[in-house]
Structure 1
Amino acid sequence: MSPKQQRGEATVELLLDTALRVYAEGGEQALTVNAVTKASGVSLGSLYHHFGSIDGLVDALLMRWLERLLGEMVTALEHSRTARTGVRALTRAYLSFVREHREAGMLLHSSRADRLGMTQAARLRDAQEARLTPMAAWVAHHVEKGEIAPLPVPLIESLVLGPVVGAARRWLTFGDIDLDEAARVLPERIWRSISAEPE
């Protein structure tokens, strides 16, 4: 990598880190071009060169943290022997990620992230295919083994992630959920909803 490319990469990282800090300190309304350039010391032209707009910067920030979260979820699944232990590992990985990266968790669970997910779902799915494919394969494998009920993958995904995302949002927004308790209670409740075993 040339020195110019290294400088460009360092600028991108600085802008992304600064944008998250600005968001954490002031919320979505604080995320302006002026706020990010002032806090980072990076020129307006450089921000536009790398991201095209403040929206491009925020979208890149969301994609960065979504990729990290999905990576941790995939790793959790890959290290589990059974579907049941996989649900437990995935739930704990998600909640631990949100606890350890609270600012990024707030952004990933924000109305802006929801809007991006609604308007650009196909692009997001395509961009994260390398992370999502192993998760779908893991589900298909355990359905085939008779551990997970033979439901459509999007429905299984909703049954597994819905309660976890809900608990994370509640913790981030109100703080009235104990994440340790959620990590203990949710996996078994989720497992019952997708298990192929009769009740």
Structure 2
Amino acid sequence: MTERARTAPAGPAKQRRGQHTVDRLLRAAFEVYRDAGPQGFTLPAVIEASGVSVGSLYHHFGSFDGLAATLFIRCKDDLLAALTDAVRPATSAKGAVTALVSGYLRWSAAHRTEALIIHASPYAGYLRAHTERVDAGRAPRVAELLEFFGPRLAAEGLRPLPPAQAEMLIMGPVTFAVTRWLAGTEGFDLEEAARTLPDRIWLSLGTVPAGP
């Protein structure tokens, strides 16, 4: 085989096989997380569930942490896509906040494993080495949401807050509620939270007083 042949780009068939292996590993990782939880989410468990070699996993993801980070990114993208779809029909800032909060809670109720991956992963440590990739994965969705919210918030005279503070006021109670629900807190009803939190979060944002 010539050097040119050895260094030629992979053909479509090889690319399809590679993508099939990636999807197979991610599907197995998700199933292991779903069935065994964070504590059972290990390299041997995923290898056994997928039937893929350790070498192949490292070839496609660099490490087990790389696989875990990719799984987190995919789940986060699914959530952000759902939130974008939820707020898009809103015609007011309050409607958008309500849609965002209730959409997050209801998505979590319908996607418990994905919600667990999203909320448990930041404490697992493996995301630190993949911060840039995680940020790059969420940036387009977050930018779309901010672009949607900005004009509506300004039009309704919402109290001017730095984006990080506004995010804490809106998303802080939501993520805390989902965390409590995932932990199985007795008496905590996620559907009830979806009904009551939007109005309370909206009130917490406040509005700029009207001028004289």
Given that residues 139 and 153 in structure 1 are in contact (C-alpha distance below 8 angstroms), is that contact kept between their aligned partners in structure 2?
no
Instruction: Compute the TM-score of the two structures, normalised by the length of structure 2.
Output: 0.85
How far residue 161 of structure 1 moved from its aligned partner, in angstroms, is: 0.5
Write the letter of the residue equivalent to 1:162: G
Write the letter of the residue equivalent to 1:190: I
**Distance in 1 between residues matched to 2:25 and 2:130, nearest whole Å:** 23
Matches within 5 A, 1:1-199: 2-110=12-120, 112-114=121-123, 115=125, 123-176=133-186, 177-196=188-207
Residue identity (%): 38
| TM-align CA RMSD | 2.0
**Distance in 2 between residues matched to 1:147 and 1:138, nearest whole Å:** 15
How far residue 136 of structure 1 moved from its aligned partner, in angstroms, is: 1.7
Count of equivalent residues: 197
Structure with more relative contact order (C-alpha pairs < 8 Å, separation 6 or more)? 2
**Distance in 2 between residues matched to 1:116 and 1:43, nearest whole Å:** 21
Write the letter of the residue equivalent to 1:146: E
Given that residues 148 and 196 in structure 1 are in contact (C-alpha distance below 8 angstroms), is that contact kept between their aligned partners in structure 2?
yes
**Distance in 1 between residues matched to 2:127 and 2:80, nearest whole Å:** 15
**Distance in 1 between residues matched to 2:127 and 2:89, nearest whole Å:** 28
**Distance in 1 between residues matched to 2:98 and 2:111, nearest whole Å:** 20
Given that residues 43 and 64 in structure 2 are in contact (C-alpha distance below 8 angstroms), is that contact kept between their aligned partners in structure 1?
yes
Instruction: Compute the TM-score of the two structures, normalised by the length of structure 1.
Output: 0.90
Q: Which runs of 4+ in 1 moved over 3 A?
A: 114-123
The answer for unaligned runs of 5 or more in structure 2 is 1-10
Given that residues 116 and 182 in structure 2 are in contact (C-alpha distance below 8 angstroms), is that contact kept between their aligned partners in structure 1?
yes
The answer for unaligned runs of 5 or more in structure 1 is none
